């Protein structure tokens, strides 16, 4: 089957046709998918009907899979699957408008993931889009003075800071245990990371988990981070994905960040996500 790559909405994201994640997958298909991912940051495959086991097996072609810190949202029999379901599923806790803030997945770990593969199983009739922003393009567009200021600096990332703020406004959200908190101490990462496969530089700060800058006082760090956060989500760098049932979206966590958007909670939304392990940002 011929593989075709089509730009989406005049943005950096692309749609890939000719790859079937279910069943036997050719090595050349995986190579083409990885090439598209690292070149563009977000890859969409439409009309994909497959089960959770096939989702996991396809994802493993790109690396080892991670298990999320918050076990309450993992399928009990398949913990590689994070169930983003606002009703709960197979014993998982409901998650309402999960990730509705700009973030790079799990940037609060020493080795953030390479990427995530999100499969749309049920979607609301409107709303619930996902926004993606290209951090390579955002870095390239910075003025030279700002590039000089942030190159070589490290920012602090924390999951507990964001999670506790969300839990305060959502009584249904499970509290993190002491064991879970011990797994995710705050970490420092370069504010500008180099993509290990392409060599491109990308901004690596996000409003979801970045809480400070090493060696900089809080007020100065907050002013700089707020400026960078606003720059990261400039419409020039953003793609809006309008979900269709059976979409599979694969994003490169090393060069993008994303945000969910709200939807009417009277409607059900069920998405399954796998996460591919990454490396230490450099």
CB atoms within 10 A of CB 68: 17
**What is the average pLDDT score of the chain?**
92
Q: Is 103 a catalytic residue?
A: yes
Confidence of residue 159 (pLDDT cuts 50, 70, 90): confident
pTM of the model: 0.93
Average pLDDT rounded to a whole number, residues 30-41: 96
15: β partners: 6, 44
In this structure, are residues 5 and 14 in contact, taking their beta carbons and an 8 Å threshold? Answer: yes
Confidence of residue 166 (pLDDT cuts 50, 70, 90): low
CA atoms within 13 A on the CB side of 33: 24
Confidence of residue 84 (pLDDT cuts 50, 70, 90): very high
The set of residues, in sequence order, having a beta carbon less than 8 Å from that of 58 and lying 6+ positions away, is 21, 22, 25, 50, 117
Fold (CATH) for 4-276: Double-stranded beta-helix (3.60.130)
CB atoms within 10 A of CB 8: 17
How far, in Å, CA of 83 to CA of 74, rounded?
6
Catalytic residue among 29, 52, 105, 247: 105
Average pLDDT rounded to a whole number, residues 121-144: 97
- Quote the pLDDT of residue 114: 98
Catalytic residue among 254, 258, 269, 272: 258
Following DSSP, what letter does each residue of 218-248 receive, concatenated? Answer: HHHHHHHHHHHHHHHT-GGGEEEE---TT-E
Enumerate the domain spans of the chain: 4-276
Catalytic residue among 34, 40, 103, 154: 103
Average pLDDT rounded to a whole number, residues 223-228: 98
How would you classify the pairing of strands 42-45 and 14-17?
Answer: parallel
How far, in Å, CA of 125 to CA of 129, rounded?
11
Confidence of residue 44 (pLDDT cuts 50, 70, 90): very high
Q: Is 157 a catalytic residue?
A: no
Average pLDDT rounded to a whole number, residues 46-63: 95
The set of residues, in sequence order, having a beta carbon less than 8 Å from that of 187 and lying 6+ positions away, is 108, 109, 110, 156, 157
Q: Is 254 a catalytic residue?
A: no
Q: Is 55 a catalytic residue?
A: no
Q: Is the pLDDT of residue 173 over 70?
A: no
Q: Is the pLDDT of residue 88 over 70?
A: yes
Confidence of residue 160 (pLDDT cuts 50, 70, 90): confident
Residue-wise pLDDT for 237-277, tens only, equals 999 999 999 999 999 999 999 999 999 999 999 999 999 99
- Quote the pLDDT of residue 65: 98
Q: Is the dihedral of CA 137, 252, 118, 10 positive or negative?
A: positive
**What percent of the chain is predicted at pLDDT more than 70?**
92
In this structure, are residues 155 and 261 in contact, taking their beta carbons and an 8 Å threshold? Answer: no
Decide which of 174 and 213 is more confident.
213
In this structure, are residues 247 and 16 in contact, taking their beta carbons and an 8 Å threshold? Answer: no
Confidence of residue 181 (pLDDT cuts 50, 70, 90): low
In this structure, are residues 118 and 240 in contact, taking their beta carbons and an 8 Å threshold? Answer: no
Catalytic residue among 119, 231, 272, 273: 273
Q: Is the pLDDT of residue 174 over 80?
A: no
193: β partners: 202
How far, in Å, CA of 171 to CA of 242, rounded?
29
């Amino acid at each position: 089957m011929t593989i075709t790559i089509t730009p989406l909405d005049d943005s950096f994201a692309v749609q890939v046709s000719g790859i079937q994640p279910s069943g036997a997958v050719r090595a050349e298909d995986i190579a083409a998918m990885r090439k598209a991912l690292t070149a563009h940051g977000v890859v969409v495959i439409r009309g994909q009907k497959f089960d959770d086991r096939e989702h996991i097996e396809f994802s493993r072609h790109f690396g080892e899979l991670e298990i999320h810190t918050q076990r309450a949202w993992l399928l009990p029999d398949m913990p590689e699957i994070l169930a983003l379901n606002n009703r709960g599923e197979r014993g998982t806790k409901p998650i309402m408008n999960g990730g509705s803030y700009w973030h790079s997945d799990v940037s609060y770990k020493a080795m953030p993931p390479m990427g995530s593969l999100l499969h749309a199983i049920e979607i609301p009739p409107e709303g619930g889009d996902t926004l993606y922003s290209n951090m390579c393009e955002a870095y390239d567009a910075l003025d030279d003075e700002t590039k000089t200021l942030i190159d070589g600096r490290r920012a602090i990332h924390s999951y507990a800071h964001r999670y506790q703020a969300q839990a305060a406004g959502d009584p249904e959200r499970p509290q993190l245990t002491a064991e879970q908190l011990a797994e995710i101490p705050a970490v420092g990462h370069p504010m500008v990371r180099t993509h290990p496969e392409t060599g491109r530089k990308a901004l690596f700060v996000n409003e979801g988990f970045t809480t400070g800058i090493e060696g900089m006082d809080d007020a100065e760090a907050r002013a700089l981070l707020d400026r960078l956060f606003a720059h990261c989500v400039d419409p020039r760098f953003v793609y809006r994905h309008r979900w269709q049932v059976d979409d599979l979206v694969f994003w490169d966590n090393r060069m993008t960040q994303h945000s969910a958007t709200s939807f009417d909670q009277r409607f059900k939304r069920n998405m399954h996500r796998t996460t591919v392990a990454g490396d230490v940002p450099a």
